[in-house]
Amino acid sequence: MVDRISLLPDSLANKIAAGEVVQRPASVVKELLENAVDAEATQITLVIKDGGSSLIQVKDNGMGMSVTDARLCWERHATSKIKKVEDLFNIRSFGFRGEALASIAAVARVDMKTKREEDNMGTHIMIEDCKVNKQEPTQTNTGTSIAVSNLFYNLPARRNFLKSVSVENRHCADEFIRVALAYPHIDFTFTNNGNELFRLLPGSLKQRFFELMGYKSNTRLLSVNEETDFISLNGWICEPSQAKKSRGEQFFFVNNRFIKDSYLNHAVFTAYQDLIEKDRFASFVLNISLDPKHVDINVHPTKTEVKFDDERAVYIFVKSVVRKALSGLLAAIEPEDTAISTFLSQKESTFLTQPTPKVDKSFNPFSDQQKYSPKIHPNWERYYEMEKEENQNNVQLPLVEKQIKNVEIEHCFSLNQGIIVAKVLGQMQVIHQHRAHLRILYEKFLNALNNQPVSSQALLFPRTIVLSAADFELFNSLQPDIVKLGVEMHAFGSNKVIVNGLPPTLIKANEKDLLEGLLEQYKLNKNDISLGHIAKLALALASKTAISSNKNLPEEEQKQLVQDLFACPFNTTDPKGERIYFTYSADQWIEKFDAN
Ligand code: ADP
Ligand code: MG
């Protein structure tokens, strides 16, 4: 019998490999852009036509290639980025599999011009079906230009699978945005069917985020910046009031490589948990830097998924740091610094089993150090104006985003069912009484738990309460903090609690009902990992004691409530993410009338 095994010809092997690497035009965009970044280009131009299926061209002013390299780079496993096994675990550049160009050449026609600084002449090479059709010296600028045309011309089945031009355009733009966002110091241009969509001059990450997302100048972002010896987190997050109804503006990078990680997105979202409405999503761009040996970027062929050796630790770190960045807005927020130091002390034992090289802090294009040239920047003036406005602090913020101490409440009345209408700074506020009170109490209790314990008022006659065994155990674990809220309760014998005092505001409460309700509310959120223990306790007592919507308040109390609400540093939603009020200006009403 004859032998049946034969080695696949290169062109076929490359086509098979291409199936993994090149799924659609956007994959080519990604690979070419990443190669240009790896080649240390400072200017990169992307041109696509017809969703990338007719043409994808990337031109860079990077290091270029020698004559030999210009030929070799199209071979499978051809890479300049890894020479030995250890390099695999220390990879900082994008490439390393050395199969992108070979795969692209297997499924499209390619035309490349490249030249190194030190060479007089460059190389022009044309490849079709993995065969070099042309290779000759050429006059060209330093750098590399690769044009990929007629993608999947030789694989009709793949070509038919491409989606509409607009969908493929969108995918290409997404890849462009990810790379451009990770390298704000690089000049990028993106042209689609002759229209220049982006012209991005080098600038700060914040500016790049603004431009790529098309934010208006009144969009405000909070800076995130936490450096430790093991891991750093840098970037920008949106203010809670600016969270969007749709997802899509969440960008995570690990050592500047874009990653998709719903677990880490979750960490950020939970940091926002009690600050934004339930169905909204915070926008952010965040880069995690850590020693590459703690991340496996090789788990996915197109490398958008990574695996951390300690995912949970990274989750906690991200959540704590983002929360800390948000705490600038929140006076009474949990001091998450403790969370970070706990995290770090835990890390001593895991990350630090051997001397760990520090994260290369210079490797951080996310810092805002780079300067840009205002003259040629088409959108420069916008930024300039924006910065000026911020500095002069004359941006008229809408009331909803502002904390106002001692605001004067001109008129106030109740519409029944716990809806209060108030005139505040010339605007009409329609307020949900129960949610407003929940927010006020929550902030107050957080403050008591974190900063200033409330003193209790002694009861004339101490009372005892009998609890179930499970509740008694829960009570014991919460007791040291319950006392800080002014609730003077102590364990007394088995399953019994003695009450000596209550906070002045709750002095009339039925203590048994209060304690049972508090424990009940605490249990409701017990498994919510997004809330810390302190936040859970504050929320439990607030939920138990907030005024219900059924209660009609006298006008003076309504005014006090509204005043207290606007004095809260964050007041648009209650701690569970439910909207507290709607604002209407006279102009809005006039518009409504004019429309009718
Ligand atoms: P990888 O990026 O994984 O090394 P590729 O197939 O993408 O594999 O590229 C192969 C090699 O070709 C790279 O390692 C690099 O040396 C060279 N190369 C590719 N694109 C460029 C470019 N734009 N400028 C300079 N060299 C490049
Ligand atoms: Mg590559």
Question: In the structure, which protein residues have their CB atom closer than 6 angstroms to any atom of ligand 1?
Answer: 31, 35-36, 39, 60, 62-65, 73, 78-81, 95-102, 144
* All residues at 6 or more sequence positions from 120 whose CB lies less than 8 Å from its CB, including other chains: none
Q: Which two tokens stand for residue 356?
A: 């760990």
Cβ contact 24:171 at 8 Å: yes
Residue 97: what pLDDT?
Answer: 65
Average pLDDT over residues 435-459: 90
| Cα–ligand 1 centroid distance for 174 (angstroms) | 22
Residue 88: what pLDDT?
Answer: 58
The rounded mean pLDDT for the chain is 81
Average pLDDT over residues 116-135: 93
Q: How many Å apart are CA 513 and CA 171, to the nearest integer?
A: 57
The class of domain 10-198 in CATH terms is alpha beta
Ligand 1 atom at minimal distance to the Cα of residue 64:
25
Sheet containing 231-238: give its strands across: 221-227, 231-238, 284-290, 250-254, 257-259
- What digits encode the pLDDT tens for the residues 82-105? 666 666 555 555 545 678 898 899
Cβ contact 522:474 at 8 Å: yes
Band of residue 339 on the pLDDT scale cut at 50, 70, 90: very low
Q: Which two tokens stand for residue 462?
A: 């101490």
Tell me the ligand closest to 96's alpha carbon: 1
Portion of the chain with pLDDT greater than 70, in percent: 82
Average pLDDT over residues 435-453: 90
Q: How many Å apart are CA 395 and CA 398, to the nearest integer?
A: 9
| Cα–ligand 2 centroid distance for 144 (angstroms) | 13
Tell me the ligand closest to 59's alpha carbon: 1
Ligand 1 atom at minimal distance to the Cα of residue 96:
3
Task: Report which of 429, 391, 383, 369 is spatially closest to residue 219, judged by C-alpha positions.
Answer: 383
3-state SS string over 88-144?
HCCCCCCCCCCCHHHHHHHHCEEEEEEECCCCCCEEEEEEECCEEEEEEEECCCCEE
Cβ contact 310:350 at 8 Å: yes
Among the ranges given (104-113, 406-415, 509-518), the one the predictor scored with the smallest mean pLDDT: 406-415
| Cα→Cα distances 95→32, 70, 88, 251, 257, Å | 10, 16, 11, 20, 11
User: Token pair 């607030």 is at which residue?
Assistant: 542
Cβ contact 52:168 at 8 Å: yes
| Cα→Cα distances 125→42, 99, 139, 432, 502, Å | 23, 18, 13, 69, 83
Task: Report which of 220, 576, 574 is spatially closest to residue 398, judged by C-alpha positions.
Answer: 220
- What digits encode the pLDDT tens for the residues 159-201? 888 889 999 999 999 999 999 999 999 999 999 999 999 999 9
Residue 9: what pLDDT?
Answer: 78
The residue nearest atom 17 of ligand 1, judged by CA position, is 73
Cβ contact 326:223 at 8 Å: no
| Cα–ligand 1 centroid distance for 361 (angstroms) | 25
Q: How many Å apart are CA 347 and CA 327, to the nearest integer?
A: 24
Average pLDDT over residues 345-361: 37
Q: What ranges in 121-223 are assigned the alpha helix state H? A: 156-161, 165-182, 205-213
Among left, alpha and beta (phi > 0; psi -120 to 50; other), residue 176 is: alpha
CA-angle at 382, arms to 379 and 386, nearest 5°: 145
Q: How many Å apart are CA 530 and CA 316, to the nearest integer?
A: 10
Give me the CATH code for the 399-584 domain, please.
Answer: 3.30.1370.100
Q: Which two tokens stand for residue 402?
A: 């502002």
Best residue among 30, 34, 71, 73 to mutate for probing ligand 1's pocket (most ligand atoms within 8 Å of CB) is 73
User: Token pair 């500095």 is at which residue?
Assistant: 391
Q: How many Å apart are CA 282 and CA 389, to the nearest integer?
A: 24
Sheet containing 457-466: give its strands across: 457-466, 496-502, 488-491
Band of residue 529 on the pLDDT scale cut at 50, 70, 90: low
Of the chain, the end-to-end C-alpha distance in Å amounts to 90
Task: Report which of 49, 382, 33, 305 is spatially closest to residue 174, judged by C-alpha positions.
Answer: 33
* All residues at 6 or more sequence positions from 546 whose CB lies less than 8 Å from its CB, including other chains: 434, 437, 438, 441
The residue nearest atom 13 of ligand 1, judged by CA position, is 79
The residue nearest atom 25 of ligand 1, judged by CA position, is 64
| Cα–ligand 1 centroid distance for 208 (angstroms) | 26
Q: What's 49's DSSP letter?
A: E
| Cα–ligand 2 centroid distance for 193 (angstroms) | 25
Q: What's 278's DSSP letter?
A: T
Average pLDDT over residues 479-498: 91
The residue nearest atom 14 of ligand 1, judged by CA position, is 79
What value does the CA radius of gyration of the chain take, rounded to a whole number of Å? 30
Domain range 206-344, its CATH number among 3.40.50.300, 3.30.230.10, 3.40.190.10, 1.10.10.60: 3.30.230.10
Residue 337: what pLDDT?
Answer: 44
Residue 538: what pLDDT?
Answer: 92
Per DSSP, the three-state class of 490 is strand
Q: Which two tokens stand for residue 26?
A: 């956007």
Helix-helix angle 433-450:555-567, to 10 degrees: 50
CB atoms within 10 A of CB 241: 20
Q: Any long-range contacts for 201-205 (C-beta under 8 Å, 24+ apart)?
A: 201/372, 201/373, 201/376, 201/377, 201/380, 202/42, 202/370, 202/372, 203/370, 203/372, 203/377, 203/383, 204/368, 204/370, 204/372, 205/181, 205/234, 205/235, 205/236, 205/285, 205/365, 205/366, 205/367, 205/368
Tell me the ligand closest to 103's alpha carbon: 1
The residue nearest atom 12 of ligand 1, judged by CA position, is 73
Cβ contact 239:222 at 8 Å: yes
Among the ranges given (333-342, 479-488, 494-503), the one the predictor scored with the smallest mean pLDDT: 333-342
Cβ contact 44:33 at 8 Å: yes
Band of residue 328 on the pLDDT scale cut at 50, 70, 90: low
| Cα–ligand 1 centroid distance for 434 (angstroms) | 61
Q: How many Å apart are CA 460 and CA 462, to the nearest integer?
A: 6
Best residue among 101, 118, 123, 146 to mutate for probing ligand 1's pocket (most ligand atoms within 8 Å of CB) is 101
| Cα–ligand 1 centroid distance for 293 (angstroms) | 23
92 vs 254, residue with greater confidence: 254
User: Token pair 């009940």 is at which residue?
Assistant: 520
| Cα–ligand 2 centroid distance for 278 (angstroms) | 40
Is the pLDDT at 51 greater than 60? The verdict is yes
Tell me the ligand closest to 36's alpha carbon: 1
Domain boundaries, the chain: 10-198, 206-344, 399-584
What is the identity of the amino acid at 529? Answer: I
Residue 577: what pLDDT?
Answer: 82
Chain Cα centroid distance, residue 581: 26
Q: Residue 230 forms beta bridges with which residues?
A: none
